[in-house]
Structures are given as structure tokens and as C-alpha cells.
Structure 1
Amino acid sequence: MKTFKRFFALVWLLAAHTALVAQTGPNAQNTAKRDLVSFEEFEARLAKAGKNAQILDARLPEEYAQNHLEGATSFSVANEADFSKAIARLDKSKPTFIYSIANGRSGKLAKDLRDNGFKDVTELPGGLSKWIGLGKPVVSTVGPGLSLGDYQASLKSDKLVLVDFGSRYCGSCKRLAPIVDSIKHEQASSVKVINIEAYENKALTKELGVTALPTLILYRGNQVVWKKSGVTPKGEIERVLAEANL
């Protein structure tokens, strides 16, 4: 009987440990991500909601002024008191759609709204970066920027050409910028670096399929030899450049 009790206790402890890991380990992140629907589902829900949709732009007002989804409202709230006043003007019963550059600020806003009783909250997966990169329409006060022809002309060089697509408002882009800048100076003899402000070059980002910021594209003789999104470590970029120079 004692052996059975010890066995039962061991099984119970293992079950409790498994449940704890599920709540605090890698799977917890997966659970948190379940609120993100597919891009196609976002579009379908937005179309179905029609004029009943509440679309909130979680970026800064100046970002909103440059490019935003049609029907969106600028919703960058600095403090808790202002946030309470801002959500009081919204209708909790209406479907609410949120976006930012990617899903950083929009993710926080979505959580805050749900915590305050909003039941139907949908984030734009990939954010405005993906929306613009896929050529979806936006209300804009900036022009299309560089044409594809002008861009291709800028790639002409006897060196490798590293293009950094980013935004001055993007946190990940800011973390990558000093890495790219150091490579620009350290490898000036063999690498040409070009910086592109994505939201001022919407047509180009669509043409090149840049759907996330930051994105690095490496060219050799006008041909793409490497492309990667996100904050890429300096060592990885240096390795790619060394291999491309062989």
C-alpha cells in the first residue's frame, strides 16, 4: 500500500510539473500567440465588419499621418489616465481591429483592451509592414518613393551591395542600424550600403516583397544572394559577406 501511495504521489507531482511547464515554458508563448489570426482571416473579418469596424492605429500620430489604413483612428496613448478616457469613447460591442509597425505596440494595446472588457479584438498579423509590403491600400501623405528602375540603377557597383529596409520608427530597425553602420565603415572597400526608409518607398517594398522590417538584401552584380528579416547579428552578416566575396 505504501508503495502504491508513493507511486501515486510521484504521478501527481509529474502531472503538476507538466502543467507548470505548459504555463511558463515555450508553450506559454504559443498560447499567447493564438490571438493572432492569419493575414487572410484579418482581411475577411475586417471586410465583414464593414462600417461597424473600429480600426485603431497604435503607432505615433506622426506615423499615422504618413500612412494608415482607411477608416483608422490614431490611438497612441501615453499614460493610464489618457487611456481610460480614450477607451471610454469606444464601443466595446463593436469589432475592433488594431495594428502597429509589426505586432509590438498593437499586441500590448490588444491585451489592454481585452483586459478592459473588449471581446472582439483582432490584430493585423505582421502589422503595417506586411500590409504595405503586400501592396494593400493605405491613406498616405507621402509619395511612392523610388521607382524600381531608380533602385536597380543604385545597385550598380563593382562591390557587394547591402540594402537595409527599415523605418526610423521601428524599434528592431534601430537595434540593427548601428550594426549595419559599422559594417558600412569597416568594409567600405568591398561593400556598398544603401538605407531605404520603407514607408517612404511603398511601391518599392511591394515590388521587392519586403513584408517585415528590418529586412536586409545582399546583391552581387545586381543579383540577390541573401535576404533576411529581423535583427541579424553582426557576425552572421560578416559571414554572409565573406562567403559572397569568395
Structure 2
Amino acid sequence: MKNRALSLLSLLLFVTINLNAQTPALTFDAFEAKLQQAGSRAQILDARSEEEYTQNHLKGAVSFSVADQANFAKKTKKLDKNSPVFIYSIGNGRSGQLVKQLRENGFADVTELPGGLSKWIGSGRPVESTVGAGLSLNDYQAKLKSDKLVLVDFGSRYCGSCKKLAPIVDELEKELTSTIKVVRIEAYENKALVKELGITSLPTLVLYKGDKEVWKKAGVTPKAEIQANIAESL
């Protein structure tokens, strides 16, 4: 009887763990709705660096850099464990780390912004900013004028994935100098353009032939895949 009870308990724990693991992540729209519903109770944390926060952040957010582990305990004491917490970073790297840490420290209602600040800005949501809007669409289109294919790299100097892609783009620029022109866009210094073009993830590569977009890919794209699309577009 005792063994049966233990078996049932083990089965219950297994099912519970798997159900929790399979719980679907909150959608972008659901995050926004939950944030609005929370109102003044919302505790919005920016998991990026202080410098990034100063440049652009969600209204009402406070800087809570995940890299500042020395002051983690001190900063968490200022939060209310009974009020909802909303966390974001560029994508879902640093914010994911902070979500995990807060849950481990007893914060039950912690929600991560799916797609991060990249999707928030690219989807046209507002931010508080100390940098200008940057290039206009006309300015951008002027950069695309070339008798070569134009490869545009939308990224950020703060983005880990962007740093991984950058040397690949540099290599292609040197190897295919007669074939392509490379344009690099610092996304958070060009918010109006990012919104206009619907760039919701960093890094994102866009390939143009003349004034027409012929290929687009988000993420750290392998060199061979970029080369193949360039060759196909010639």
C-alpha cells in the first residue's frame, strides 16, 4: 500500500512538472494587455545595461541590469512580491535570466516581454528615449541606391546575436566587394525607421536589388545561406 501511494505521488509530480513545462508562453498582445491591466501595480524591469536603459526604455520601467549581480539582493528588496513584475531586454536573453532569478527568489507573478524591446519598438509601441528618431525612410532609401546588391544589417552594438553576425557580414563585404554594398543600421538610434520597416527582431538582414527587397532573414544567419541568396539574386 505504501509503495502504491509513493508511486501515485511520483506520477502526480511528473504530470505537474510536465504540465508546467508545456504551458505556452504569453503572446506579445497578451503581455501588452496584462501590462495595461496591472496599471500602477506593474513593476517594469529593464534587464539591460544602464546605458541602454538611458537611451530607450518602456514608460515606467526601472533599470535592473541582470549583469549587476552584486546589487541583486539590494534591488529585489525594493520590489513587492505581491505585485506583478514585467521584464524585458533586447530579445529574450538577459530578461530570461532575470525572470528565472526572481522566480527562484519567491516572485510568483513574473512576465517576460516576448520578442523583447526589438519587437516592442518594431511593432510601433512607444518608448521613452534620449536619442533622436534617426534616419527617415527617404534617408534610408537614398542609402540603397547602388548598381550592386545592397545588404542591410539591422543590429545593435549591445546585442549578443548581432555581435556574432557582424564578422560574417564583414567577411562577405570584403570577399564580394564588387557584388554587394553593405549598409549597417544601429536599430535603437533609428526607431522611426525600424517601425516603418517592421523590423521586430535583431539582428535582421535585408537584401535589396535595385529598390526591391529580395530576401530577409532574422537571427544569426550562416555565411553559406547569405552567400546563396546573394548568388540567387544576381
Normalising by structure 1, we get a TM-score of 0.86
Note if 1:198 corresponds to 2:187. yes
SS of the aligned residue for 2:202 comes to coil
| Other-structure match for 2:166 | 177
Q: Deviations over 1:59-94 (max 9, x none)?
A: 000000000000000001445442111111110000
d(CA) in 2 for partners of 1:58, 1:124: 11
How far apart, in 2, do the equivalents of 1:51 and 1:231 lie? 38
Residue 213 in structure 1 maps to residue 196 in structure 2: no
Report the Cα distance in structure 1 between the residues aligned to 2:223 and 2:195, rounded to whole angstroms: 27
What are the equivalent positions in structure 2 for 1:1-246 lying under 5 Å apart? 34=23, 36-78=25-67, 80-245=69-234
C-alpha separation in 1, matches of 2:127 and 2:42: 16
The whole-number CA distance in structure 2 between the counterparts of 1:223 and 1:31 is 45
After superposition, give the CA deviation of every residue in 1:191-211 in whole Å (9 maximum; x if it has no partner).
000000000000101111100
Relative distance call for 1:239 and 1:77 in structure 2 (3 A) is closer
Where does the alignment leave 5 or more consecutive residues of structure 2 unmatched? 1-10
Q: Which amino acid aligns with 1:120?
A: D
Kindly indicate whether the alpha-carbon contact (under 8 Å) linking 1:157 and 1:221 is maintained by their aligned counterparts in 2: yes
CA RMSD of aligned residues (A): 2.0
1:31, distance to aligned residue in structure 2 (A):
6.4
* Bigger Rg, which one: 1
**1:88 partner amino acid:** K
Give CA-to-partner distance per residue, 1:119-142, whole Å, 9 cap, x none: 111100000000000110000000
Provide the aligned length of Structure 1 versus Structure 2: 222
Structure 1's 125 and 52: CA in aligned 2 closer, same or farther, altered over 3 A?
A: same
| Change over 3 Å in CA distance of 1:230–1:78 after alignment to 2 | closer
Q: What is the distance in 2 between the residues matched to 1:106 and 1:145?
A: 26
Q: Single out whichever of 75-84 and 190-199 deviates more from structure 2.
A: 75-84
Q: TM-score, normalised by structure 2?
A: 0.90
TM-superposed CA distance for 1:153, in Å, is 1.0
Deviation at 1:35, TM superposition (A): 6.3
Cα deviation per residue 1:100-134 (whole Å; 9 max; x = unaligned)?
00000000100110111101111000000000001
**Which moves more between the two structures, 119-128 or 71-80?**
71-80
User: Shift of residue 36 of structure 1?
Assistant: 2.9
User: Are the aligned partners of 1:36 and 1:122 in contact in 2 as well (CA < 8 Å)?
Assistant: no
Structure 2: distance between partners of 1:161 and 1:33: 42
Q: Give the letter aligned to residue 159 of structure 1.
A: K
Q: Which amino acid aligns with 2:108?
A: K
2:80 aligned partner, one-letter code: D
Deviation at 1:34, TM superposition (A): 3.9
In 2, distance between residues paired with 1:37 and 1:182? 38
Q: Give, in whole Å, the separation in 2 of the partners of 1:74 and 1:175.
A: 25
CA distance, structure 1, for counterparts of residue 21 and residue 52 of structure 2: 27
